[in-house]
Structure 1
Amino acid sequence: MADLDPLRTFEQGQVRRGRVCSVERFGVFVDLDGAEGFVSVAELSRRRFDHPSEIVRIGQEVVGQVLMVDLERAQVILSLKALQDDPLLEVARTRLGMVVTGLVTKVVPFGVFVRVADGVEGLVHVSDFPDRRLPAKGENLTVRISDINLVHRRLRLTPSPDRQGPPP
């Protein structure tokens, strides 16, 4: 007799479609034709967001990759991010060494984070500013893409002599 448990039809690595049935701060629940799917906030998108509702809405059809089947919780763990192009790889292929203008997204004691492409931010260390004065969040900053570490997913930026630039 065939096993009728719908969870047993799912395998790691499969790509499956479903409909978003609930959006919570910690993740999204997806109806997979009767089986429950779950996408954690870490697996929703490669771009930054404050709440999952910025990425998906209830009733929306989504496509995700099966990360694992949790038989104990009767849940399929999915990733939407796994099926998205990695913008960091695109930057690594096309922009290493280039001077670009980006938006300062965060100021921390050790430097500033600058968005240089959709979904890609890098760090300009405080020691790279000759006067040690950091730009404010929301300012445009012209930077050189100095190093890309794909293993640790880090982008090192240095300020360009023409620090202020037009909006990206």
Structure 2
Amino acid sequence: MSEEVKVEQAEVTQEESMANVTFLKKGDIVKGKVIKVDSDQAIVDVGYKYDGVIPLRELSSVQIEDAAEGIGAGQEVELKVLTIDDHKEKLVLSKRAIDSEKAWDKLNADMENKTVLEAKVAEVVKGGLVVDVGLRGFVPASMVERTFVEDFSDYKGRTLRLRVKEMDKEKNKVVLSQKDVLDEEFDVKKKETLSKISVGQTLDGTVQRLTQFGAFIDIGGVDGLVHISEMAWHHVETPSEVVKEGDKVKVQVLKVDPENERISLSIRATQPGPWQSISSIKTGDIVTGTVKRLVNFGAFVEVAPGVEGLVHISQISHKHVATPQEVLKEGQQVQVKVLDMNPDEKRISLSIKETEEAPAREPREPRPERERAPRKQESISHEEGFKTTLGDKFGDMLSKFK
């Protein structure tokens, strides 16, 4: 083959090659295949005369430490041309730009349809969490869970179920909430549970939180209240004396109000009553008790957990007592004698003075004798005086009738 023919064939081959080369410019959208992934970039074949580069910052809308977190070798991707320089054979591409454009349209539709999304937590930042939803999404701390979370340090890498709350494309702002999803699920489960429970049922529950007036118990997707008066048979000052958050407890349903979504529960109703545990106490026994309450007519003394008996004011002391407060105080330990028991009516009559020896009576002082003349002598003298006086007075008159 002549040199001229070889030159002509080379020129034809070059012309065909140039005809197949895609001409690119800044802003073009191209498709390519990842051929290599380094720690700080990915190399992509987009069918151009040289390969393109996706820098680490252009791989994802959220911060990543390694390119492999955002892309993989062999992956087919759609990219946007950021810069191109044929002289330096430099082609810089962005995956993030394409993902973001697509994400805005998708998220807008998701917000309108109230779609539940799944997204992985990319960062834990002040005030909340950053998630990757095709662009940088933010979940405020108050919208992560239904309850307050103090520390989010272990949330990185978790997958959350989210709903789009707010979008502003100009400010590149997307706010999402997992709490909305959880609240909705809770409401559905709550209505389902309310429809199934009835008064008198005994259920297993978990202590959710404590308040001054009682404890809220989760009984399967719905919280019910155990009032402090229903926590135990004995007197309870604070709920923490009986339970703590996270405890598993048995409760009995006292009242259900589906309209207001309220449930009243009792822990003590699932436990043996205190009056069932005092079979060892009999009438006539002397036991130790604690003064619980003082009233005008006596004192209530606890002789067993949750079992109180009355010491009437007349049974407090052998001495006269005007008010129980004179000799007793609440919390005082005392010995009492059981005078009478009526478990059916839950009544016990007690006595403190019957446990004490009665004081000896003081001897009476003799009364002074009165000085007086003998009664008989006085009568005789009086009679004699009376006779003398009649004889003297009527003697002459009587003599005329003789």
TM over 0.5: yes
Is residue 228–residue 236 contact of structure 2 (8 Å, CA) maintained in 1?
Answer: no
Name which structure has the greater RCO, CA cutoff 8 Å, separation 6+: 1
Q: Secondary structure at the match of 2:337?
A: strand
- Any gaps of 5 or more consecutive residues in structure 2? 1-190, 357-402
**Corresponding letter in the other structure for 2:352:** P
1:94 aligns with 2:287: no
Work out the CA distance in 2 between the residues paired with 1:14 and 1:156.
Answer: 35
Q: Secondary structure at the match of 1:29?
A: strand
Work out the CA distance in 1 between the residues paired with 2:353 and 2:276.
Answer: 22
Work out the CA distance in 2 between the residues paired with 1:90 and 1:155.
Answer: 14
Is residue 286–residue 355 contact of structure 2 (8 Å, CA) maintained in 1?
Answer: no
Work out the CA distance in 2 between the residues paired with 1:85 and 1:125.
Answer: 28
**Corresponding letter in the other structure for 1:41:** I
Count of residue pairs the alignment pairs up? 159
Give the number of the structure whose residues are more often strand, by fraction: 1
Task: Quote how far apart the aligned CAs of 1:28 are.
Answer: 1.6
Report Cα offsets for 1:2-47 as digits up to 9, x if no partner: xx72211212222111111121222221111211211122221101
Task: State the partner residue of 1:53.
Answer: 240
Work out the CA distance in 1 between the residues paired with 2:341 and 2:347.
Answer: 6
Is residue 20–residue 29 contact of structure 1 (8 Å, CA) maintained in 2?
Answer: yes
Which of residues 153, 158, 162 is equivalent to 2:346?
153
Which of residues 257, 261, 270 is equivalent to 1:74?
261
Q: Kindly report which structure 2 residues correspond to 1:33-44, keeping only aligned pairs within 5 A, or say none.
A: 33-44=220-231
Task: State the partner residue of 2:85.
Answer: none
Structure having the higher Rg: 2
Task: Quote how far apart the aligned CAs of 1:152 are.
Answer: 4.7
| Runs of 4+ off more than 4 Å | none
Work out the CA distance in 2 between the residues paired with 1:7 and 1:162.
Answer: 55
**Corresponding letter in the other structure for 1:144:** K
Task: Quote how far apart the aligned CAs of 1:68 are.
Answer: 2.6
Range with bigger deviation, 11-20 or 143-152 = 143-152
- Structure 1's 138 and 27: CA in aligned 2 closer, same or farther, altered over 3 A? closer
Task: Quote how far apart the aligned CAs of 1:160 are.
Answer: 5.1
Q: Secondary structure at the match of 2:233?
A: coil
Range with bigger deviation, 100-109 or 148-157 = 148-157
Is residue 112–residue 134 contact of structure 1 (8 Å, CA) maintained in 2?
Answer: no
1:144 aligns with 2:331: no
Task: State the partner residue of 2:21.
Answer: none
**Corresponding letter in the other structure for 1:136:** K
- Structure 1's 106 and 12: CA in aligned 2 closer, same or farther, altered over 3 A? closer
Work out the CA distance in 2 between the residues paired with 1:41 and 1:13.
Answer: 19
Is residue 99–residue 160 contact of structure 1 (8 Å, CA) maintained in 2?
Answer: no
Task: State the partner residue of 1:166.
Answer: none
- Structure 1's 118 and 30: CA in aligned 2 closer, same or farther, altered over 3 A? same
CA RMSD of aligned residues (A): 2.1
Work out the CA distance in 2 between the residues paired with 1:30 and 1:116.
Answer: 31
Work out the CA distance in 1 between the residues paired with 2:223 and 2:330.
Answer: 40
Is residue 18–residue 63 contact of structure 1 (8 Å, CA) maintained in 2?
Answer: yes
Work out the CA distance in 2 between the residues paired with 1:159 and 1:151.
Answer: 24
- Structure 1's 148 and 73: CA in aligned 2 closer, same or farther, altered over 3 A? farther
Task: Quote how far apart the aligned CAs of 1:56 are.
Answer: 1.6
Q: Secondary structure at the match of 1:94?
A: coil
- Structure 1's 63 and 141: CA in aligned 2 closer, same or farther, altered over 3 A? same
Is residue 111–residue 134 contact of structure 1 (8 Å, CA) maintained in 2?
Answer: no
Task: State the partner residue of 1:26.
Answer: 213
Q: What is the TM-score of this pair, normalised by structure 2?
A: 0.37
**Corresponding letter in the other structure for 1:23:** L
Task: Quote how far apart the aligned CAs of 1:100 are.
Answer: 0.8
Work out the CA distance in 2 between the residues paired with 1:65 and 1:144.
Answer: 36
- Structure 1's 55 and 100: CA in aligned 2 closer, same or farther, altered over 3 A? same
Task: State the partner residue of 1:130.
Answer: 318
Task: Quote how far apart the aligned CAs of 1:137 are.
Answer: 3.0
Report Cα offsets for 1:106-160 as digits up to 9, x if no partner: 3333222222112222121111122125333333221122233445533221125
Is residue 22–residue 58 contact of structure 1 (8 Å, CA) maintained in 2?
Answer: yes
Report Cα offsets for 1:34-90 as digits up to 9, x if no partner: 112111222211011112222221221111011232101213321111111111233
Range with bigger deviation, 114-123 or 140-149 = 140-149
